[in-house]
Structure 1
């Protein structure tokens, strides 16, 4: 059936498994909206393209499926580039489809005109391409979905000239997966080992197993890339117990290791003396982590040469020490086979050394680190502890660049992976509210919560109207220290007189009520807990206003 290409794209996305699109229509991309309802796709209208992008990001992180956004030419694309940059930093699958002008080189003064729209978007995503025919559009969409499942997830941008969106086009072919992927006719981005890399050779697994078994201080470092290895009866707990290994996680890797494991150092890589732990370890296995600056906050991690890196990204492996062992394999595949290899070799290897790690050593470090955090950000740990007690165990949390979140990421142990999302890397303000909306859309009936600071809330406060429209029972924890507190502290440490760190805030509760949201301004931690519990069962979002004076 022939339709305008804009409508065909929506039908194609539905066939590939897309159920929700975030965006804002305009005269340039209105043809993309012609087919949304007919295709059976839900559209969420954002208040700003930045909000649409963060919603798509939050949806992708919660659902495991790509977040899709529709935006207009020029300013619409520019506005969503910040979320695209954040998604790139955090390995989030996002497909942004925009319109573009038919001619820019020989014609000036057009509405929404840019010098190089495609090139601008290319700076913050995996690739940015222009489809000048229906066939090209279909091919690029399928390429994006295939790459989401076959390599490290990154955002993609596709732009289609307005005349092409309006032109009638044949329907794309229905998706037919390869025989090995199952009988479904929907394209999936579920990560399976064969989609990432060839099966890991058993001799490699045997080598890792023997090194771990002979180590006196084995240490695993888990990043966000290891989350796929966590499932009921997964291999990680038994591997750790078999070799009595200690663990560290990145912030994105929280929940990969159970809080009950008494050799877990937690998400403490940013603590300076975590380098000593890495150096003391005679077998370090780093799985699914870049060990980037935003993970360790120092030049080098501190581990000895000869560490074992398991990662699907060759760029990460190329940055390792020349003496390190680098394996470009899927974490799930490696850990599953490692479990079997440890069982096999553990029975055959005699006189194994006893691991020197102990629960007392780990507890000592963790106690000292907690005290350091309390000195750095007085009083916030108590708020985090009370908040943790009030939220259901399966709550998915989206946090922003705020001191409440910085503290929580260090002291709040997660009992499952992929349930705390923070704008690492790119480090954007205003992320939490719209991202949590996207997460709540993806997880209907399941608890979702946002944590955001007063300054960050200003960036995307308009998206509160979306949460009200959708009737989302979303607690939004707004931490108001009446300033850019982290920047003020940094300036003070640098012996710079704090400047431009205080902005006049509105009455946030009245503002939220004007949107139609519920509000609470608890003065005690007990009242805060009650407000949070009520918010999860409300008929719309609840802004829970907190200040450092809460007790």
Structure 2
């Protein structure tokens, strides 16, 4: 009897001939690049270093596109955004020691935001591995240990034959929901030594789906169908699983109001009659969600920001759909459904009974009206105008990337993302310097649309070097820098907490002149001209910078 797998595993005569006669001059670096190509990669990010040169030399002999940034952390942010936009694993090539460690903040953000980044770093020669003190350049006692608490999985290679399987295993790990960053490290001498192994061809590292258990979705469907006041919180998992359409269908089937988390921006239409939008830091929203007798939480762990700083205390039954098993019921008791959001929502669409609640739109409108009334009493006209100006200027499907700055904090709550997977920020881990290099990664992923990055002047200084990258690759990215002379949000926090500030006021360059020194067109704008200046920059191909001198305020939080 012939089994199907026999046919799959048996090489053709041509494959046998190629395997027995590999081309000369190949190295371990070639095995890395061949494996990435066989897995379906098309673009890699990174920054070369002495121990990693074997990989970079092999890039020269491949069809892969290389996007090199000026700082490893920024290369990691670019790979993060590429992974978010495409849903593909984004290879990130790094060197040993300092070069590897420089990527950790970016990989932490990728882990928090479930972005699939495949980081491949070099290592000192094999003879130096094992935690000794051999005096090699860039040597760490245990480089893997530096990554183990940050990434999903760590893979160490010691021989040529281990390279394809290690990278394939890491690729599968990165793309298994929840997506996330992974780390592979390969010693320098393994990368540079010649190999007689056959050329790596197509690799299969397709992850398994995380399918909901039917008995759990049956209970969830019954609870939702018979609820008096159901409500839904949609998190980033809805966006990552491309489940926005199924979310809307379920909400309309149940007449259930929907609030989106900051990571779930765009998961539900902003102006829909059932949309509570994203005012999660407002007590009116918190009260409404607490009053739900059945609350469906999809693709969110209800962490600090999504729970109004852990003041959220639901009184009804909670159903939590989450692809990260560790987040199930981590903050609130629930009917925990371990599953990909798209598959679980499909199951609920097939098993819930329609319910009608003609009062739901009016109740949603009342909450939003109360929020508007509260904000109107706080003298925040400038901030509202700036959010509106950015929305007016940005094309509907153009992605935007936001740093940890006051305008971004506003955007989390107040910005209409219009479409899923178009608004991204560093709110997962909260590191500075994310927006601009991430926007460059998005431009590499999809060159057909302009990309917007938004930073404060403090965060912008983390990424200034990448103006050279934007110019070198002619990426269509407009960078809005809101210049308030310091770390604005920290200035506000310290003033509120201590009545004075320390270390928050900064000397800064003339950003317009600095951008132009890189060959990047730049303009200084005002709140009145922001929409027009942004529109012009976004409509002009290539990189550009718009500088807005402005001192912004946050709205008053209402946790209690």
TM-score by length of 2: 0.88
Deviations 1:358-387 (A, max 9, x none): 333322322333455563866212111011
Residue pair 1:517, 1:541 contacting (<8 A) in 2 also: yes
My pick for the range that moved more, 358-367 or 283-292, is 358-367
2:349 matched residue in structure 1 = 339
Give yes or no for the alignment of 1:467 onto 2:470.
Answer: yes
Alignment of 1:391-540 (within 5 A): 391-525=394-528, 527-540=529-542
Residue by residue over 1:233-263, the C-alpha shift from the partner in whole angstroms, topping out at 9 and shown as x without a partner, is x333332222211111111111111123212
CA distance, structure 2, for counterparts of residue 155 and residue 509 of structure 1: 35
Deviation at 1:549, TM superposition (A): 7.0
Offset of residue 281 of structure 1: 0.3
Q: Distance between the aligned counterparts of 2:386 and 2:542, measured in 1?
A: 24
Question: Aligned pair in 2 of structure 1 residues 318, 361: CA closer, same or farther (>3 Å)?
Answer: closer
Is the Cα contact below 8 Å between 1:8 and 1:171 reproduced in 2?
A: no
Deviations 1:39-72 (A, max 9, x none): 2011112111111111111111111111211111
CA contact (8 A) 1:216 1:356 kept: no
Q: Is the 8 A contact 1:271 1:296 kept in 2?
A: no
Give 1:182's aligned residue. none
Q: CA deviation at 1:455?
A: 0.2
Matches within 5 A, 1:197-276: 197-198=210-211, 200-201=213-214, 203-228=215-240, 230=242, 234-276=245-287
Q: Cα–Cα, structure 1 residues 318 and 132, in superposed 2: closer, same or farther, change >3 Å?
A: farther
1:38 to 26, 44, 61: 61
Structure 1 stretch 234-243 or stretch 455-464: which is displaced more? 234-243
- Work out the CA distance in 1 between the residues paired with 2:319 and 2:188: 50
Residues 275-314 of structure 1 correspond to what in structure 2 (within 5 A)? 275-304=286-315, 306-314=317-325
User: Which residue in the other structure is 1:133 paired with?
Assistant: 159
How far residue 173 of structure 1 moved from its aligned partner, in angstroms, is 4.3
Deviates more, 1:469-478 or 1:295-304: 295-304
| Cα distance, 1:486 vs structure 2 | 1.0
Cα-to-partner distance string for 1:377-400 (whole Å, 9 max, x where unaligned): 662121110110111100101100
* In structure 2, C-alpha distance between the alignment counterparts of 1:126 and 1:188, rounded to whole Å: 17
Structure 1 segment 142-181 matched on structure 2, within 5 A: 142-169=168-195, 170-171=197-198, 173-177=200-204
Measured at CA, do residues 206 and 482 of structure 1 come closer, stay the same or move farther in structure 2, by a change above 3 Å?
A: same
Task: Say whether the 8 Å CA contact 1:370–1:411 is kept in structure 2.
Answer: no
Corresponding position of 1:62: 85
Comparing 76-85 with 355-364, which one deviates more in the overlay? 355-364
1:323-402 pair list within 5 angstroms:
324-342=334-352, 345-346=353-354, 355=357, 357-370=359-372, 372=374, 375=378, 379-402=382-405
Counterpart-to-counterpart distance in 1, 2:417 and 2:206: 27
Contact 2:84 2:240 in 1 (8 A): no
Task: Give the 3-state SS of the residue equivalent to 1:43 in structure 2.
Answer: strand
Distance in 1 between residues matched to 2:407 and 2:177, nearest whole Å: 34
The residue that corresponds to 1:181 in the other structure is: none
- TM-aligned CA deviation for residue 473 of structure 1: 2.0
- Residue by residue over 1:305-337, the C-alpha shift from the partner in whole angstroms, topping out at 9 and shown as x without a partner, is 531111111101142544x21111222122122
The answer for the alignment partner of 1:180 in structure 2 is none
Contact 1:480 1:548 in 2 (8 A): yes
Choose 34-43 or 164-173, whichever is displaced more: 164-173
SS state at 1:141 partner: helix
Aligned residue in 2 for 1:75 = 98
Q: Contact 1:477–1:546 (CA<8 Å) still a contact in 2?
A: yes
CA distance in structure 2 between the aligned counterparts of 1:246 and 1:426, rounded to whole angstroms = 28
Q: 1:436 to 1:363 in 2, by over 3 A?
A: same
The 3-state SS of whatever aligns with 1:461 is: coil
Please tell me whether the aligned partners of residues 305 and 321 of structure 1 are also in contact (alpha carbons under 8 angstroms).
no
Q: CA deviation at 1:149?
A: 2.9
Work out whether residues 450 and 475 of structure 1, in 8 Å CA contact, stay in contact via their aligned partners in 2. yes
Instruction: Output the aligned Cα RMSD.
Output: 2.2
Query: Residue 14 of structure 1: CA displacement?
Result: 1.2
- The answer to whether the 8 Å contact 1:447/1:536 transfers is yes
Structure 1, 125-134 or 295-304: larger mean CA deviation: 295-304
Aligned mates of 1:89, 1:199 — CA distance in 2: 23
Deviations 1:171-227 (A, max 9, x none): 4643354xxxxxxxxx567xxxxx2323541x5434323322221211011101112
Whole-Å separation in 2 of the counterparts to 1:485 and 1:321: 33
**Alpha-carbon offset, residue 523 of structure 1:** 2.5
Residue 531 of structure 1, CA deviation: 2.0
User: How many Å separate the matches in 2 of 1:113 and 1:547?
Assistant: 44
Q: Is the 8 A contact 2:132 2:141 kept in 1?
A: no
Q: Aligned-pair distance for 1:544?
A: 0.4
Cα 1:357/1:67, change in 2 over 3 Å: farther
Alignment length (residue pairs): 524
Determine the structure 2 residue equivalent to 1:113: 139
Contact 2:432 2:459 in 1 (8 A): yes
